[in-house]
């Protein structure tokens, strides 16, 4: 059994992993949030990040398929609802496609996931497999990067609004909504992990799961950087900078 001190030290250890390894430290984010990305780079981010978004509810469904505790399934299922929404309104996935439209991409092209970089696919698919296969404690721990997400979402809303004409409330609705959803998810996930990781071995496994997830996020930005920033080497199958482009990014005047 763990003591209160031990629980606190474990919590601090998890936070330290975010401090050292979360993808807010990646240079691509600094470029994006400070207005340093070209239209092509923003579009590449929207196309590739869609793949992550689209797989999140699939990994949550994989998680739920393994829970024999109805209380746990009940607590978890809102994650799927957040992303898939209902028929009329849609959820996070549809909000992400509004961002795609705002940057001049055909949402059908983005939703096809054609042009997603191979490394993005590998990283995201590895996350889904991890959650499908690992013990539930590690599966939940891997979602705890969301502890660090609200800050990056707030910075992104402010940075994109300031620096890019396409950015308005409709285009950024995805992030606004996550600010309300993520803290609820993470409160549950964190309590679950702190409660269940009651041996040193389990704490190590949970910390490793969180570190693995930071790798999943970091790898996606490395893939983008290598293909569209430097050295600018787009791998076979990666978006060529033109496919799916249907118009200029929306101008702010037109959106108002």
Ligand X SMILES: O=C(O)c1cc(C(=O)O)c2c(n1)C(=O)C(=O)c1cc(C(=O)O)[nH]c1-2
Interface with ligand X (CB under 6 A): 56, 143, 145-146, 149, 152-153, 178, 217
Of 39 and 154, nearer to ligand X (C-beta) is 154
Instruction: Tell me which residue has its CB nearest to ligand X.
Output: 145
Could you give the CA distance from residue 226 to residue 63 in angstroms, rounded to a whole number?
32
Nearest distance, CB of residue 6 and ligand X, angstroms: 26
Is the CB of residue 131 less than 8 Å from the CB of residue 139? yes
Q: Contacts by 88-95 with C-beta closer than 8 Å and gap 24+?
A: 92/53, 92/56, 92/174, 92/177, 92/178, 93/53, 93/54, 93/57, 95/173, 95/174, 95/177
Could you give the CA distance from residue 214 to residue 105 in angstroms, rounded to a whole number?
28
Of 56 and 167, nearer to ligand X (C-beta) is 56
Of 56 and 224, nearer to ligand X (C-beta) is 56
How many CB atoms are closer than 10 A to CB 139?
Answer: 21
Nearest distance, CB of residue 49 and ligand X, angstroms: 8
Nearest distance, CB of residue 213 and ligand X, angstroms: 6
Nearest distance, CB of residue 178 and ligand X, angstroms: 5
Of 143 and 203, nearer to ligand X (C-beta) is 143
């Amino acid at each position: 059994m763990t003591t209160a001190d031990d629980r606190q030290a474990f919590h601090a250890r998890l936070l330290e992993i975010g401090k050292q390894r979360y993808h807010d430290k990646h240079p691509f984010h600094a470029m994006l949030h400070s207005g340093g990305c070209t239209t092509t780079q923003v579009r590449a981010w929207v196309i590739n990040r869609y793949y992550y978004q689209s797989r999140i509810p699939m990994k949550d469904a994989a998680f739920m398929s393994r829970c024999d505790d109805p209380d746990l399934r009940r607590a978890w299922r809102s994650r799927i609802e957040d992303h898939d929404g209902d028929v009329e309104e849609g959820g996070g996935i549809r909000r992400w496609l509004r961002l795609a439209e705002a940057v001049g991409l055909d949402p059908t092209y983005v939703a096809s996931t054609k042009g997603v970089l191979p490394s993005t696919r590998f990283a995201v698919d590895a996350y889904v497999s991890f959650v499908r296969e690992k013990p539930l404690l590690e599966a939940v721990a891997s979602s705890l990067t969301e502890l660090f997400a609200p800050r990056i979402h707030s910075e992104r809303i402010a940075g994109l609004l300031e620096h890019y004409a396409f950015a308005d409330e409709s285009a950024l609705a995805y992030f606004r909504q996550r600010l309300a959803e993520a803290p609820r998810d993470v409160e549950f996930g964190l309590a679950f992990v702190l409660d269940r990781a009651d041996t040193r071995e389990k704490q190590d496994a949970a910390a490793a799961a969180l570190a693995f997830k930071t790798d999943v996020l970091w790898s996606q930005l490395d893939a983008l950087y290598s293909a569209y920033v430097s050295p600018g080497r787009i791998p076979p199958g990666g978006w060529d900078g033109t496919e799916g482009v249907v118009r200029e990014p929306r101008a702010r005047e037109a959106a108002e």
